[in-house]
Each structure stands twice: as C-alpha cells, then as structure tokens.
Amino acid sequence: MATDMDVDMSEEDESKGGMWALEQKIDQPMDEEAGRLKNMYREKSFSAILLLRFAFQSLGVVYGDLGTSPLYVFYNTFPKGIDDTEDIIGALSLIIYSLTLVPLIKYVFIVCRANDNGQGGTFALYSLLCRHAKVNTIPNQHRTDEELTTYSRSTIHEKSFAAKTRRWLEGNIYKKNALLLLVLVGTCMAIGDGILTPAISVLSASGGIKIDHPGMSNDVVILVAVVILIGLFSLQHYGVDKVGWLFAPVVLLWFLLIGGIGIFNIWKYDIGVLRAFSPVYIFRYFKRRGKNGWTSLGGIMLSITGTEALFADLAHFPVSAIQLAFTVVVFPCLLLAYSGQAAYLMKNKEHVYDAFYRSIPESIYWPMFVIATLAAVVASQATISATFSIIKQANALGCFPRVKVIHTSSKFLGQIYIPDINWILMVLCIVVTAGFKNKSQIGNAYGTAVVIVMLATTFIMILIMLLVWRCHWLLVLIFAALSLIIELTYFSAVLFKIDQGGWVPLVIAAIFLFIMYIWHYGTVKRYEFEMHSKISMAWILGLGPSLGLVRVPGIGLVYTELASGVPHIFSHFITNLPAIHSVVVFVCVKYLPVYTVPEDERFLVKRIGPKNFHMFRCVARLESMMEGGSDSDEYSLYGQTQGQNQTQSQRSKEFLLPENSMNTFSSVVDLTISSCDSIVPVNVNSSTVMSSGQVSSHTEVDEMEFLTSCRDAGVVHIMGNTVVRARRDSPFYKKICIDYVYAFLRKMCREHSVIFNVPHESLLNVGQVFYV
C-alpha cells in the first residue's frame, strides 16, 4: 500500500549532500512549465436554453437507476405482506424523507460541490484529497507535478484545525492505507452495484408479463430477464453513443408517466396518503412494528439507490444542470409515484408483490410495460458504463490488473468498453438473476452494496470539508452526524438481511478487494525495489560519452516507472550486452492524482547529462482517470513547435522539447501516444530538435541531422520482463501474496508492450528478478 518514501522533501534534501544535489540538477523533469494555462475548472454560467438542454440530457445518463426504484421498493419493504394499512403511510413517510435528506440535500446540494475539476465519484474525491495532503499511494510522483494548472490546492495556516488534521493523516502510514482501503471498499461495492442493478431492474420490469398472464411460471419471467441481460451485455461493444440519444427521451417519458399515474392513483384511491409528509408517522411506524419495522428499512433503502450514480456521472454535465433536473423533474415525479402506489395499496394491500404494475390503468398497461423495460435497460446501462470507468480508474491508480480498454466513441472520450469485465459482469448478473429468482433477495443484496458506498463517501467527504473546503468544525460535525445517523441506521437494517441475499455484494466486494489490494501491494513493492536499485548519475557520468560501450546507430527507448534517475534495467542490460544505441531515451508513463492534465502540460522531455551523452528522459503525465487521448497527438508538425523550442532553450540552456505534445519527440523517434492505452506509429515528414539559444545554428542543424539519422536507423523498445519474488526471509502470507497471487495476476493481465502497441519486431525484453 502506501510507502515510506513520501517524507518531507526538504528534510530529505538536506540529508543527501552535494552529490545528490548534482544529480537532481542534471536529471530532473523541467521545473518550469511552458505557457501556464488559464483553464482551471470553474463552474461556468450557461444560458437558460443551454442549461435546460443539459438538464434534459442528464436524465438519461444520471437518473435511470434512481428512477426505476419504484418497480421494487414496496415489495422489498413488505416481503411478507401488509398487516395494517397505516404501515403503508409510515413506509411512504420514510421514503419521502429519505429522498429529501440523502439525494436532494446531501448529494445534489453538498456532495456534488466536492468535484475534482468538474468530475465526480469516489476516485475523484480521493484525487482531491491527494492534492491537499500527502496521502496518495501512487509512488512515482515528483514536486514538478504540483505545478500543473489543474493541480489546484489552497494553502492552509499551520495552526488551523485543517493543518492539524492533515498532519494527523500524513503522520502514520497506516492511516494512509486505511484511507485507500476505504476508497477501495467503496469502489468494490460500486462494482457490485454494477452487477445487481441490471439484475433487479430487468427482473422487476420483466415481471410485468405475469400481470396479464397470472398462470405463467416464474421461470418464464427469469428466462425473459436473462435474454434481455444477454442482449444488453452483447451490445456493449457498440457503445452507448449509437443509441444514447434515446436515453433522455425514454427516461423523461418514464418520469412523466409514473408521476402522472401517481396523481391519478392518489385522486382515485386515497388522497389521505399525503399525510405521510408529516414525520410523525415515522415514529408511529417504528412504535407499531418494532423490529420488523427496523428490518424493513432494507427495502426503504432501495428508494435512494442510484444516488451514487448521480455523483459519479457528474463529469458529463454541469452541477447546475443536474440540480435543475433533480429538483424540477426527478424529485417531484418520484414523490408522486411512491404516493400513488401507496394510495393504491391502501385499497389493495394484497397486491404488494406487484404494486407498480397493478397500479397502472389498464388502458396504458402494455405501453407502460415497454417503457418500464426500456427504462430498466437505461438504468442498467448507466451502472455498467460506470463500472467500466471505475475499473479504468483503478487500473490507472495501480489498483487493478491491466485490462484492454476500447473507446467506443470518437466524440465522447468517456465512453469506454472493457471486454473482459463486460463478460464477467454478464455471467455474474445471470447467476444472481437465475440463482435468487425473486426481487426480495436481490433487493437485500442491492441495499447492502448501496449503503456501504454511501458510508465510504461520507467519511471521505468529512476529510474534504476539513482539508479542501476548510469548513468550521461545527459544520463538519453537523454534516457527519446527520449523514452517519441516517446511513448507519440503514446499515444496521441491512445487517439483518445478510443471510437473505445481503451476503452477495459482500462476497463480490471481498473478491475484487482482494485482487485490488494484492495488485497494488505487489506493484508498490516492485516500484520500491526499482527505486532503491536505480543507478547513480555520478556513475553514469564517470563512464564518459560512450558510456564504456559500443554505441550503435539508432534510438533505444528504455521504459521505466521511474520519473527520475537511471533505472536498474539499464545497468542490467549494458552489463550483459556491452552495446547501446546512439540515442537513449528513458520513457516514463505515470498517472497523477488529478482528473485532467492539459495537453500543453502533458509531456516533459529533458536531456540527461552532457549533450554528447545523447541521453534523454520523456515523462508522460496522464490523469488518474484518463479515458482517452487526443487525435491531434498524432499530427504535430515541425513548424508548430520550432518557435516554442527556441524560447525554452534560451530559458533553460538545456536540450528541451515542448511539453504540449509527445509528438514533437515522436517526430524524432517515430512514435506518439494517442491515448492512455497505446503508443502507435505515426508518419512524420520532419523532426524538430533545438539546442540552447547560445549554441550556433550550425550546431543546431548538426544535432537535428544526427537525431534524424538515428531515427532512420531504427527504434528499439527496451522493456523489462520482470519476475517478482518474495525474499526468503519474508513471512508466509507475503510469499503467498507475491509468489502466487500477484504472479498469477501478472500472467493474466495485458503486457506493457501490448498496451503501448509496440511492434513485436522492435521489442527487446530484458529479463530481471526482483526480490521484494
């Protein structure tokens, strides 16, 4: 997990001496960014028409899951039937105030403000915290990363309560690990949500078939649900871009219909259900039902499922649009829908199992069945897409094995597809649907997953309010008390249903948590070994320009996770093969705890050592939640960067390439990064390399000609084929984790050469064994 390497940099600097300072001067990424950008995230103001358009579109992306809850809430609240009609009023009152306190007040008006450059979700909160306290466990960070324009953070007075909280959090490695573990638990439960939402939504929607055919077997309903699920997951590789334009109209029509039907049922059956807006009926409900009333909260909890998706999908729309859509459409329509069902049940309490479909007027039953099925598919699609994004984010943070990521849209970079995860989700959804066969047990499992995700968000939000917003401790206490009282109450209720299906998300989360923890642990240990075994720059300088080797024509790209220093793979290579290319470039692709890295600040290239050594470093800084790259990365031309190179070379008096594009360097080495998952060939007509402004133009031309000739001679990608083993004196559990589990995960995940799309004929693997 977290390492001991994140100690105070100033203290570390003082203890290293002059040689370390020399190495830092010779070999560090650029300390000064070229062209500071003015694109810090701020909530933009939109015209009324544009805001309405965003609010309309957000319905299809954000609110599908929350909107389909009326399909199954009342049955899961009263799985054994309704004894007293007053219980319906009490349950409705609980639903009303749950929707008011959690989605409306907590998430829409508080949590949504805690976005990371406009992005939401558990990882966004974690990234925000990592910038305001040294708690991140991404190992290869450097001080220059904090100079990014999107690496925004505010200063904290050292004597303030926020500063004391930060020191408390940073002071112990176990606290950092506990924070990461909290994030991972919330993430794993969200993945479980991605499995359970399609199961319960599609099964509940499919159950409407039995209303018109009461004698139909439940197995037929399950078969229909399974067929829909198979079709849903089989179409994922096309991406939601192809049918996404239908989502918003379908969900808007869904909300209007359930709201309208609710008004009709209130007027037709019992307008007296509106007295549920008085909280006194909550007290009477618990007094009358006792323990049964308490355990029924597991069903009430389902009325606020999908709330986490509201925050996680914040990236697609401005906060104001999401707030407008919820307050104007979603919230009132849900209240009317639940009130209408309650009014129907007041006269027909025996129909609680299928209250939603029974309460629909017969004349519009089948159109409503079709809309309900489509809405369930939209809700399922939202959670499946969110699961893909979660896996991608966990992968970037070094918390999940490398998997294939496919971008399904050229317009919307956030739309991705992960084949392996897709089929795993499909199998698990089918197993859950066919295994439980009823909404009650799936609902119990669903509620467990949702409440744990909410608890994780609450704990992280407490730290956000202290360290980022610097709220008064009294306000933080009020938020924490209200949130925890509600969520811990729900959590205590779902604990009673662990043996009735609630164990499912716990098992799913435990499996994914085990995988994430072991992968992150092994990755950090491997990085620590590489960090401690890196080569001294003084040793490199002592070898002379030829490095004591035969310098053959060509360019050698040495891939490493080190953002500074010469990696162990280089010394291992030249020890076994005393020859190296005329130009050596150490390539480091790393992820930062920010949601976005501006294009002009994404790439840093710098010379290592004197000019005649012909050694360089290229650092590609990507956001931890990056889901795609810019196509323009492949088409940068000579004239576009020449002037910027001259300015930078005068300022640094070193060999520099502009950071705004990997392609400038790519024009030398004939490659570029087009996305976070691949390095692909690009045809370039010319290359640009500028030396110091004080060097003559003749020298500059010679330098360009030399690098061009090296590029033409060929590019070789040198990668480490590393085997990680636990030391012999390691504890037994560590040997199991590293030698077996981590080794198995590494065999199953994608190779770096595949991710970077390295041509097989240009790949050179260097075998190493790391004993950690």
Report yes or no: 618 and 605 within 8 Å, Cβ to Cβ: yes
Structure tokens at 485: 């009282």
pLDDT tens-digit readout, 497-516: 887 777 888 888 889 999 99
| Cα distance between residue 261 and residue 267, in whole Å | 10
Vertex 327, ends 324 and 332: CA angle to 5°? Answer: 140
Query: Is 584 a residue whose pLDDT tops 60?
Result: yes
Cα separation values, 563 from 26, 31, 396, 655, 674, Å: 13, 13, 16, 18, 20
Residue 344 has what pLDDT?
Answer: 93
Greater pLDDT, 6 or 548: 548
The least confident of 17-31, 130-144, 173-187 is 17-31
| Cα distance between residue 564 and residue 738, in whole Å | 26
Residue 680 has what pLDDT?
Answer: 33
| Cα distance between residue 161 and residue 473, in whole Å | 8
Greater pLDDT, 337 or 289: 337
Instruction: Work out the average pLDDT over 409-427.
Output: 79
Greater pLDDT, 240 or 674: 240
Q: Among candidates 87, 59, 131, which has minimal Cα distance to 290?
A: 87
Q: Among candidates 295, 297, 439, which has minimal Cα distance to 354?
A: 439
Cα separation values, 691 from 446, 656, 712, Å: 61, 7, 20
Residue 742 has what pLDDT?
Answer: 87
Residues 6+ apart with CB under 8 A from 243: none
Residues 6+ apart with CB under 8 A from 699: 691
pLDDT tens-digit readout, 277-335: 999 999 999 998 888 888 889 889 889 988 887 787 776 678 888 889 999 999 999 99
Handedness of CA 55, 57, 62, 64 (dihedral sign): positive
**Averaged pLDDT score across all residues of the chain:** 76
Instruction: Work out the average pLDDT over 203-207.
Output: 83
Strands 678-680 and 672-675: antiparallel
Can you tell me whether residue 513 is helix, strand or coil?
helix
pTM score, whole prediction? 0.78
Residues 6+ apart with CB under 8 A from 278: 93
Residue 643 has what pLDDT?
Answer: 34
pLDDT tens-digit readout, 13-71: 444 444 434 444 444 443 333 333 334 445 556 678 888 888 888 888 788 888 888 98
- Tell me the β-bridge partners of 406: 417
Residues 6+ apart with CB under 8 A from 620: 587, 588, 589, 590, 602, 603, 662, 673
Amino acid at 697: S
pLDDT tens-digit readout, 263-273: 999 999 989 99
Residue 413 has what pLDDT?
Answer: 57
Give one word for 478, left, alpha or beta, with left for phi > 0 and alpha for psi -120 to 50.
alpha
Greater pLDDT, 546 or 630: 546
Structure tokens at 461: 């939000």
Q: pLDDT confidence of 487, banded at 50, 70, 90?
A: very high
| Cα distance between residue 574 and residue 564, in whole Å | 19
Structure tokens at 222: 């399950």
Instruction: Work out the average pLDDT over 100-117.
Output: 87
The least confident of 109-123, 158-172, 512-526 is 158-172
Residue 593 has what pLDDT?
Answer: 60
pLDDT tens-digit readout, 690-749: 333 443 455 666 777 887 888 888 888 888 888 888 888 888 888 888 888 888 888 888
For residue 113, how many other CB atoms are within 10 A of its CB? 12
pLDDT tens-digit readout, 359-405: 999 889 899 999 998 998 888 887 888 888 788 878 877 788 888 88
Instruction: Work out the average pLDDT over 470-488.
Output: 90
Distance, C-alpha 398 to centroid of its chain: 12
Instruction: Return the residue matching tokens 């970079």.
Output: 413
pLDDT tens-digit readout, 619-672: 877 765 554 333 333 223 223 223 333 433 443 333 333 333 334 333 333 333
pLDDT tens-digit readout, 751-767: 777 777 778 888 888 88
| Domains and their CATH numbers in the chain | 54-519 (1.20.1740), 534-771 (no CATH)
| Cα distance between residue 402 and residue 16, in whole Å | 36
Instruction: Return the residue matching tokens 């939504």.
Output: 201
| Cα distance between residue 598 and residue 532, in whole Å | 31
| Cα distance between residue 370 and residue 357, in whole Å | 12
Please report how many Cα atoms fall inside a 13 Å half-sphere around the Cα of residue 461, on the Cβ side: 28
What is the DSSP annotation of 595-639?
Answer: S---GGGSEEEEEESSGGG-EEEEEEEEETT-----GGGG---HH
Amino acid at 152: S
Query: Is 156 a residue whose pLDDT tops 80?
Result: no
User: Over the Cα atoms of the chain, what is R_g?
Assistant: 29
Query: Is 275 a residue whose pLDDT tops 90?
Result: yes
Q: pLDDT confidence of 611, banded at 50, 70, 90?
A: confident
Strands 416-417 and 406-407: antiparallel
State phi, psi for 717 to the nearest 5 degrees: -100, 115
| Cα distance between residue 402 and residue 79, in whole Å | 42
pLDDT tens-digit readout, 69-96: 898 899 888 888 888 889 999 999 999 9
Cα separation values, 351 from 79, 116, 211, 355, Å: 11, 46, 11, 6
| Cα distance between residue 756 and residue 142, in whole Å | 23
